[in-house]
Structure 1
Amino acid sequence: MTENFANWLIRFRIWVVSLIALITLGFGYAAQDIEVKTVFQDLLPSDHEYVKTHNAFKDTFGGSNLVTIMVEAEDGNIFQPRVLQVVDHLTRELQKVSAVNPFQVVSIASKKLKEVKASTSGIETRPIMWPDLPQTEAELQELEEKVLRNSLIYGPYVSADLSSTLITVDFIDRLLDYETAFNEITTLVNSIDEPGVVVRLVGDPILYGWVNYYLPETINLVLMALLVVVALLFILNRTWRGTFLPLLSGLVSATWALGISNLIGIHFDPLVIVIAMLITARAISHSVQIITRYNEEVEQIEAGGESSGAAALTTLKELLRPGILGIATDACCVAVVALSPIPLLQKLALLAVVWVGTVAVSAIILTPVMLSWVKHPRGYAHPFNVGRLLHWVLNLCHLIVVSKTRYVVVVWTAIVLMVCGYFALSLKVGDANPGSPILWPDSQYNTDSAAINDKFQGADRMFVVIGGDQPDLVKKPEILNAMQEFQRFIEVQPEVGGTLSIADVLPAVNRTLREGNPRYEELGETQDINGELLYMFEAGAEPGDMDRYVDTERANGSVTLFFRDRQGETVRTAVSRIKEFIASHPLEEGEFKLAGGLIGVIAAVNEVILSGQLQSIALALLILVILCTVVYRSSVAGMFFMVPVVLSNTVTFSFMAYMGIGMNINTVPVAALGIGLGVDYALYICDRIKQELNAGAGDLEAIERALHSAGKGVIVTAFVLIVSVLLVYQSSLKFQAEMGLLVALWLTVSAFTALFVMPALAHIFKPSFIYGDRKIPSSTTEEKHEVVNEKAAA
């Protein structure tokens, strides 16, 4: 079947190339309109319990797209006209930002932060500063005293040293576009030019806005990597066909993938550019393998007077099996990611499967068909011959594999596997370090985040809902007391800077009604008393004032937790302690519901990744075993080719643990694709050994030919791609830099395994799917001596 298919492709090569060119033009036209953006809803596992709670209450208690702005006075405190003017200006202008929820803009300059006063003349609820700014020293002093005696403002919105104040703004999620929000808010903040006043800015819309901001830089790095690929291919291959055909393969593959993605409605997330580079690298790799084999075949065939088409035909027939198997392995392993309930991963998996699938056309079919027209060059494009160096390296590989050193290689590989496996167990799920792992620690976003967390209770929030379907349930003493107990329990965790709920508000109102007597700073003993206190607080309220605390029916209340970081361990500890409290404090009426806000969403994503990661890896390995078993008709083949995959993944995971790179929503696809990446090189070399043995070569001769042919392609491809992806390490996006480093490590381990470990294992164990059942002819004196010694021992 393989031979018939190869003959058909070469016979109708004009039609084949014309059809591929026509389809490429069509997909290229479609690819022009593909959207490059991050969609927040795609990040959420919609069926998860926490996300359901988040979606049900986000419009009331605050979503996960909250933006926090800190206005800091470098000299003195914030109670200066020039500082308060900045706060007031930002508060008013933020309401004009696209998709902002106007009822969720909160600061000391807004209507939302109020003071309740009580005296013999009545009860009065007024905004603490709105609408007029204090100007005189007496007015400024009065404002400071208001802040200091209001626990809902002093701490949550004004720092303990009075040098900073916060402005928080939330968005209507369905209308939010990260890039638009980022541009409008940063433009507003950058317009502040007040000496001695520093404005800091954090929040997911800002974070992903920075990702889009660095997109031109990322594209430039990709173009630089492409130029490096061109230069290295030209130097190493010394021919124009060896330079441009791999690039043509990558270009056709990328065009098809982006065109198909746009047609089926999949957008391109800026953070997956590393994935795109990795898949394009696979296309280049397969193409280089084909060109290397073609160069070998064309020398033999042209010496016999045949055309280069015969060389292309032989190359296509011999490499179709390992090439298609490698592509199928890549596609199936990354398809496993689609089992995740996270839409972003599902769409990314579909994009990756399509992209990997196009490599079968762009590299395995198009490259040998194009080579069928190419004449063997009578000279080279430049005089620098690195072939001798490659030949020396491959001779070294052969010497190590066929000598007694092969046992040392296998033993050391087993030791490395065990040591790295031990360290890989410490790989963290979720963010492994404070701040955002997408950006470098010294980036403006992470420095702003650290400054806000240092001054305040925490920039990232989670809300836990307590209540039920019964109206006015939150007014009951049992519910309010449960809130207070829960807050005291969870605030013991150091990473939780503080909490806020209606149970904090009502005691303050009760004290105010008693002319400030601290003895009465407590909750009401009955539902009616608590209802009266709540009525007093909201007497002068406007729409949205109570949204941070209770819903409109007063059936559900929220406890907002402020987090100083979003590390995976911090989030897991908090969720575990919340569940511990719920289990030990059952409610007669109502229930606790986890968990909304940014930290709630992160907790859901981390739990999905933690529960599904091991299953995904196991399933991907199972798919690898099945594919290899079917293609080579041997269960041993499936187990044999697990070696490079397990080794490359274990080494990479241990390196991630060492570097503090967590397994999160961005790194999971790279890990899944790496499973397929780990086996490609080994497939080409082992399949070539099999071909040479079937052609009658001896054991050592077959290994030598495989290394000098397929092994040469492995070295060229690995070196070119490692150098090119390392350029991404210069990115301002820490995530992309780290993923480039991981890909380089993956390629290095995969190449080493293919060149040393797999031939050594094949030579030692002589698996039947490679060697067959026939007796292998001895190729060296060493082998003959081994046979003699074995007979003597017998």
Structure 2
Amino acid sequence: MIERIAEFCIRRRSWVVGSLAALTLVLSWFALHIEVRTVFEDMLPSRHEYVKTHEKFKDTFGGSNMVTIMFEVPDGEIFQPAVLEKVRTVTLGLREVSAVNPYQITSLASKKLKEVRASTAGIETRPLMWPELPANADELATLRESVLRNPLVYGPFVSKDLQATLITVDFIDREVDYAKVFSEIRALVAKVDDDSVKIRVVGDPILYGWVNHYVPETINLVAAALGLTLVMLFVLLRTWRGVLLPLLAGVVSAIWALGICRLLGIHFEPLVIVVAMLITSRAVSHSVQIVNRFDDELALVPPGEGVARHAARVALADLFRPGMLGVIADAACMAVVALSPIPMLQKLTVLSVVWVSTLTISAVILTPVLLSYIRRPHGTVHPIDLAPPLRRILDFGVWMATSRFRYAVIGCSTIVVTVSGLYALNLKIGDANPGSPILWPESTYNRDSAAINARFQGVDRMFIVLGEDGKEGLVKSNDVLLAMNRFQRFIEAQPEVGGTVSIADVLPVVNSTLREGNPRYLELGDTQQVNGSLMGILDSVSEPGDIDRFADNQYANGAVTMMFRDRQGETIRTAVARVKEFIAQNPLPEGQWQLAGGLIGVMAAVNEVILSSQIEAVALALLVLVVICTVVYRSTVAGMLFMVPVIISNTLTFSFMAWKGIGMNINTVPVAALGIGLGVDYAFYIADRIKEEIAAGSTPEHAIHQALHSAGMGVIVTASVLIFSTLLWWGSSLRFQAEMGLLMAIWLGVSAMSALFVMPSVIYVFRPAFIFGHREAPVLGRLRPAIQPV
């Protein structure tokens, strides 16, 4: 069948090229119109308990797209007209930002922060600094005293040293456009930024805005990596076909993938450009293998008419099986990610599977068809020949596989896998370091985040809901208020939780105010009647929206909001475990606890999904790989054999991730899944060439020699080119891209080393039957002189 496919493609080459060119032209229009954006809701596992709670209450208690802006003075206090004017200007300006929730803007200059006062005339609440700024020194002093008296402001919104103040603002998740919000907030801040006050801005809209901000730099890195790839291919292969055809294969596969995904309505996530580069590298790899095999065939026959067509047909026929097997393995291993309930990963899986599948056209078929058109295939374009030193490396691989040293290779590989596998158990789920792992620690965003966390209770938030729908006034009950109070004291014992806030913090302020500010009464009432009265007084003097941060309109549900100083996976898991521990030990007589909303609640859900599914996903990807190899080679031994390079490359890579503190999160999971398929591609070419030579009557030693000097040369060329080009990503301003580029280089390097030095030794020692057990007669049209070992 493979021979017939190869014969048809070469015989009907004009029809094949014309059809592919027409389809590529059509799909290119759609590819150019694909959307490049980040959709927050796609990152949420919608069926998870925490996400359901978040979606239900985010408009009341605050969503996960909250932005925090800190104004910090280098000397003195913030109670200066110029500083407060800046705070007011930004607070009012935030109302005009796209997708903003106007009821979730909180600062000294908003109506949200109020002071409760009692007098003979009654009880009143008055905004601290709204609608006008303090007009003179006396009013500034009054504002300062009001802040110091209010525990809901002094600490949470004004720093303890009075040198900084916060503005918090939330956005509507389904409408937020990170790039637009990022640019609008930066423009608003720029209007008041005159270097007299340090202004710091953090939050997920800002974080992903920075990702979009660096898209031009990312495009430049892609261009640089592409340029280096072409230069190295030109130097190593010494022909224009060795440069242009792999480039064409990568471009065609990208056009087809992006065009098809545009037709399916799938957008392109900026962070997944690393996955795109990884898949494109496979296109280059497959194409180079075919070009290299084409050159090998030319070396066996003298120049003449039809030589290029014959060599192209042989290259297509001989590499069709390993090429297709590599494509199918990559696609199948990536498809496993679709089992995750996270929409972003599901959409990315579709994009990746489509992209990988296009390699069957762009590399496996189109490359040999175009090679058949070459008129003078025996020439080279420059005199630099690096083949001799590369052949010495391959000779070393042959010696390692066929000498007694082969047992040492297998033994050392076993030790390395065991040690790295054990160390890989230290791999963390979720973010492994403070700040965002997407950006470098010295980035503006992470420095701003660290500065805010140092002065305030924490940037990132999680809320826990107490109550029950339909039970109006339940939050006013003594049981719920006391449970909130106990829970806050319990959870604040965790160092990473900088503070908490709830309606149980507001009532003591009212209680103290009723008694002329006596601090002895800065606590909840002794009885339910007292607390109910305090709640009623607070409700009577509040305006619509004042209580939204603490309870819903019917007081059926209330929230305890926790502020976190970092978003590391271990911090989140510890907090969730402590929350569940408290709930188990403190059941409510009425109502229930509901976990967990806010950014940290959503991240907890994502981390739990990854933690529960990652081991299964890796195991399933390995099983899929075994099944594919078993079916293709009709041998269960083949499935087990090809697990060797996969296990080596993945245990070493995962242990490196654990060593460097790279966590397994929503961004790294797709790279890890694709890495399973990546780890075996090179081994397919080596093993299949050995099988082919054995079938043609070669000795095992000669078969390994031929395989390494043919397919092995392609492995060295593609691996070295792709390793150096991916290492260019280390210069990215996005830490995630830099680290993923380094991981790709490690995967490629280990996979190549395993294919060149470990797999031949394993094959030579164990002599699997699917390679050595059957001697087939050479197929007509594929007879060629044997190359004697050098």
Question: Cα deviation per residue 1:620-640 (whole Å; 9 max; x = unaligned)?
Answer: 000000000000100000001
The aligned counterpart of 1:167 is 167
Partners of 2:302 and 2:570 in 1: how far apart? 64
User: Is the contact between residue 82 and residue 194 of structure 1 (CA under 8 Å) also seen in structure 2?
Assistant: no
The aligned counterpart of 2:779 is none
Give matches, 1:487-636, under 5 Å: 487-636=488-637
User: Is the contact between residue 297 and residue 311 of structure 2 (CA under 8 Å) also seen in structure 1?
Assistant: yes
Partners of 1:648 and 1:638 in 2: how far apart? 16
User: Is the contact between residue 75 and residue 196 of structure 1 (CA under 8 Å) also seen in structure 2?
Assistant: no
1:648 and 2:644 correspond:
no
The aligned counterpart of 1:402 is 402
Question: Cα deviation per residue 1:63-115 (whole Å; 9 max; x = unaligned)?
Answer: 00000000001111111111111111111111111111111110011110000
Secondary structure at the aligned position of 2:499 is classed as strand
Task: Please state how far the C-alpha of 1:410 moved relative to its aligned partner.
Answer: 1.1
Secondary structure at the aligned position of 1:47 is classed as coil
1:144 and 2:175 correspond:
no
Secondary structure at the aligned position of 2:169 is classed as strand
Partners of 1:164 and 1:306 in 2: how far apart? 79
Secondary structure at the aligned position of 1:463 is classed as strand
The aligned counterpart of 1:690 is 691
The aligned counterpart of 1:219 is 219
1:249 and 2:243 correspond:
no
The aligned counterpart of 1:48 is 48
User: Is the contact between residue 437 and residue 734 of structure 1 (CA under 8 Å) also seen in structure 2?
Assistant: yes
Question: Cα deviation per residue 1:453-497 (whole Å; 9 max; x = unaligned)?
Answer: 000000000000011121100000000100000000000000000
1:18 and 2:18 correspond:
yes
The aligned counterpart of 2:312 is 312
Structure-2 change in CA distance of 1:773 and 1:259 (3 Å): closer
User: Is the contact between residue 123 and residue 541 of structure 2 (CA under 8 Å) also seen in structure 1?
Assistant: no
Give matches, 1:178-189, under 5 Å: 178-189=178-189
Partners of 1:285 and 1:98 in 2: how far apart? 45
Counterpart amino acid of residue 436 in structure 2: S
Partners of 1:606 and 1:567 in 2: how far apart? 10
Structure-2 change in CA distance of 1:707 and 1:195 (3 Å): closer
Secondary structure at the aligned position of 2:543 is classed as coil
Task: Please state how far the C-alpha of 1:517 moved relative to its aligned partner.
Answer: 2.3
The aligned counterpart of 2:228 is 228
Structure-2 change in CA distance of 1:622 and 1:547 (3 Å): same
Counterpart amino acid of residue 634 in structure 2: R
Task: Please state how far the C-alpha of 1:195 moved relative to its aligned partner.
Answer: 4.2
Partners of 2:293 and 2:774 in 1: how far apart? 27
Count of matched residue pairs: 780
Partners of 1:161 and 1:522 in 2: how far apart? 24
1:198 and 2:198 correspond:
yes
Counterpart amino acid of residue 745 in structure 2: A
Task: Please state how far the C-alpha of 1:541 moved relative to its aligned partner.
Answer: 2.7
Q: Decide which moves more: 132-141 or 476-485.
A: 132-141
Task: Please state how far the C-alpha of 1:379 moved relative to its aligned partner.
Answer: 2.8
Partners of 1:510 and 1:65 in 2: how far apart? 34
Task: Please state how far the C-alpha of 1:534 moved relative to its aligned partner.
Answer: 2.0
The aligned counterpart of 2:419 is 419
Task: Please state how far the C-alpha of 1:307 moved relative to its aligned partner.
Answer: 2.7
The aligned counterpart of 1:788 is none
Task: Please state how far the C-alpha of 1:140 moved relative to its aligned partner.
Answer: 1.3
User: Is the contact between residue 274 and residue 739 of structure 1 (CA under 8 Å) also seen in structure 2?
Assistant: yes
Task: Please state how far the C-alpha of 1:194 moved relative to its aligned partner.
Answer: 3.5
Partners of 2:116 and 2:148 in 1: how far apart? 14
Task: Please state how far the C-alpha of 1:376 moved relative to its aligned partner.
Answer: 4.5
Structure-2 change in CA distance of 1:706 and 1:378 (3 Å): closer
1:677 and 2:674 correspond:
no
Structure-2 change in CA distance of 1:377 and 1:314 (3 Å): closer
Partners of 1:670 and 1:306 in 2: how far apart? 43
Partners of 1:376 and 1:689 in 2: how far apart? 30
Secondary structure at the aligned position of 2:354 is classed as helix
1:439 and 2:432 correspond:
no
Kindly, what percent of the aligned residue pairs are identical? 63
The aligned counterpart of 1:90 is 90
Secondary structure at the aligned position of 2:742 is classed as helix
Question: Cα deviation per residue 1:566-588 (whole Å; 9 max; x = unaligned)?
Answer: 00000000000000001111111
Secondary structure at the aligned position of 1:175 is classed as coil
Structure-1-length-normalised TM-score: 0.97
Counterpart amino acid of residue 671 in structure 1: A
Task: Please state how far the C-alpha of 1:247 moved relative to its aligned partner.
Answer: 0.5
The aligned counterpart of 2:333 is 333
Structure-2 change in CA distance of 1:650 and 1:195 (3 Å): closer
Give matches, 1:360-379, under 5 Å: 360-379=360-379
Partners of 1:479 and 1:378 in 2: how far apart? 85
Task: Please state how far the C-alpha of 1:303 moved relative to its aligned partner.
Answer: 5.7
The aligned counterpart of 1:786 is none
The aligned counterpart of 1:710 is 711
User: Is the contact between residue 324 and residue 364 of structure 1 (CA under 8 Å) also seen in structure 2?
Assistant: yes
The aligned counterpart of 2:780 is none
Task: Please state how far the C-alpha of 1:292 moved relative to its aligned partner.
Answer: 0.7
The aligned counterpart of 1:207 is 207
Task: Please state how far the C-alpha of 1:532 moved relative to its aligned partner.
Answer: 2.7
1:737 and 2:738 correspond:
yes
Task: Please state how far the C-alpha of 1:306 moved relative to its aligned partner.
Answer: 5.0
Q: Decide which moves more: 717-726 or 380-389.
A: 380-389
Question: Cα deviation per residue 1:683-732 (whole Å; 9 max; x = unaligned)?
Answer: 00000000000000111000000000000000000000000011111000
Secondary structure at the aligned position of 2:544 is classed as coil
Partners of 1:413 and 1:376 in 2: how far apart? 44
Task: Please state how far the C-alpha of 1:177 moved relative to its aligned partner.
Answer: 0.6
Counterpart amino acid of residue 541 in structure 1: S
Task: Please state how far the C-alpha of 1:134 moved relative to its aligned partner.
Answer: 1.3
1:456 and 2:479 correspond:
no
Partners of 2:190 and 2:754 in 1: how far apart? 52
The aligned counterpart of 1:280 is 280
Partners of 1:706 and 1:688 in 2: how far apart? 5
Counterpart amino acid of residue 570 in structure 2: E
Task: Please state how far the C-alpha of 1:395 moved relative to its aligned partner.
Answer: 1.2
Secondary structure at the aligned position of 1:258 is classed as helix
User: Is the contact between residue 551 and residue 557 of structure 1 (CA under 8 Å) also seen in structure 2?
Assistant: yes
Partners of 1:732 and 1:510 in 2: how far apart? 52
Secondary structure at the aligned position of 1:154 is classed as coil
User: Is the contact between residue 70 and residue 199 of structure 1 (CA under 8 Å) also seen in structure 2?
Assistant: yes
The aligned counterpart of 2:783 is none
Structure-2-length-normalised TM-score: 0.97
Partners of 2:601 and 2:543 in 1: how far apart? 28
Question: Cα deviation per residue 1:423-467 (whole Å; 9 max; x = unaligned)?
Answer: 100000000000000000000000000000000000000000011
Task: Please state how far the C-alpha of 1:375 moved relative to its aligned partner.
Answer: 3.3
Partners of 1:666 and 1:747 in 2: how far apart? 19
1:154 and 2:154 correspond:
yes
The aligned counterpart of 2:429 is 429
Counterpart amino acid of residue 593 in structure 1: Q
Structure-2 change in CA distance of 1:607 and 1:532 (3 Å): same
Partners of 1:773 and 1:750 in 2: how far apart? 28
1:762 and 2:766 correspond:
no
Counterpart amino acid of residue 688 in structure 1: R
